[in-house]
Amino acid sequence: MSRTMFWEALRRRAVPASLVGIVCIAAFLGSVGSVGFMIQISTLLTFVVVVVGLYSFVGLSGVVSFGHISFMAIGAYVAGLLTIPLATKHVLLPELPGFLATASAGEPLATVIAGVAAVVLALLIVPVAMRLSGIAAAMVLLAVLVIVNVVISQSDAITGGLRAMTGIPVENHVSTPLVWAIIAIVVVFEFQESSVGLRLRASRDDEIGARALGVNVTRERSVALVLSAFFVGVGGSLYAHLLGAISPSAFYLELTFSTLAMLVVGGMTSLSGAVIGTVAIFALKEVLRHVERGLTLGPVHIPARPGLQLVGVGVVTLLILALRPSGITRGREIGLGSLRRIGSGRPRGGENVPEEGSLAASE
């Protein structure tokens, strides 16, 4: 390896290193704070895993997915089924068929199996959805979300149906989500820099051009969907162990919207955007959640305002899309390399430069 190649490799790795730094700082703050704060940080890190997973498909391929939360749901329910203590499971879900009634695993193993279960679902979707155009693929993924939601809601014997699946052992220390967040960041970064990742990004920026150069868009998107499903499934398991009780309605359009908002606000076309957007929207949601419940500031009482949280997230998302369409990070990666670019104001790839003379906002 020549000297320049060494420095280049080091410079490149500054991106995941910075992002790992961010999640480590968050985890450190969480571990020294109160228990309540630690749970919030654990939830944040879980969302980092989910949104980084979402990014590895949506961000790299440019295909919007309304279906990834079904991977999360599958992960959550599989992990729940494996980790609820056998005695409790026998009481709560007496009609479980054979091997599900006796299957049991510790949380770390259950989380990996949850990811694998999500991969199995992704492999079922791939042959159908990935050869379609972007918008039709988005529709198929939405249909998957509906189908998975209906199946979970109706399979009372296995999932507890519309009632919550309860009794999942609560594991709210920051260490587990931190480890998974680091794994997700490192793996997805290496994927994005790999030849598959490069071809995928080429097809996102110019699908026809990429096809003309021999990129097999269907295959690259399929690989990305499978990888992405794994991490989102893992995130589902972590989420289930934070909540202790899960229900089908928790994994539907609301969560789909929140996670997409995190990705878009940070900047859909960079890994840094996924991480930073998650932190930003999570912080906003936490602040609004307190206001939503009602506050008493001295003599002033603000009554409870249900709905405020998502109105806030929605408005911020729309503002970002209108004013800074490539997100907080402008679609760039942070790290040592970005220091030089700061202030130059020149957007790198992924920026949506409106065509001159295309339909402008004003007449």
Tell me which residues touch other proteins (CB under 8 A): 58, 62-64, 66, 128-129, 131-136, 138-140, 142-144, 146-147, 150-151, 153-154, 208, 253-254, 257, 260-261, 264, 268, 305-311, 313-315, 317-318, 321-323, 325, 352, 354-355, 357-363
Q: How far is the CB of 168 from other proteins (least distance, A)?
A: 24
Closer to other proteins at the Cβ: 144 or 238? 144
Q: Which residue has the tokens 């939830």?
A: 43
The closest alpha carbon to 183, from 43, 45, 338, belongs to 45
CA distance 44 to 31: 13
Closer to other proteins at the Cβ: 21 or 127? 127
Task: Name residues whose C-beta falls within 8 Å of residue 264's C-beta, 6 or more positions apart in sequence.
Answer: 277, 317, 320, 321, 327
Q: What does the DSSP assignment read for 193-227?
A: HSHHHHHHHHHHH-HHHHHHTT--HHHHHHHHHHH
- Residue 87: left if φ>0, alpha if ψ -120 to 50, beta else—which one? alpha
Closer to other proteins at the Cβ: 52 or 54? 54
Q: How far is the CB of 119 from other proteins (least distance, A)?
A: 19
Tokens of 149: 């939601």
Q: How far is the CB of 351 from other proteins (least distance, A)?
A: 10
Closer to other proteins at the Cβ: 299 or 355? 355
Q: How far is the CB of 333 from other proteins (least distance, A)?
A: 19
Burial 84-102 (b: 16+ CB within 10 A, else e): beeeebeeebeebeeeeee
Closer to other proteins at the Cβ: 18 or 218? 218
Q: How far is the CB of 258 from other proteins (least distance, A)?
A: 9
Closer to other proteins at the Cβ: 153 or 166? 153
Q: How far is the CB of 220 from other proteins (least distance, A)?
A: 17
CA distance 194 to 186: 12
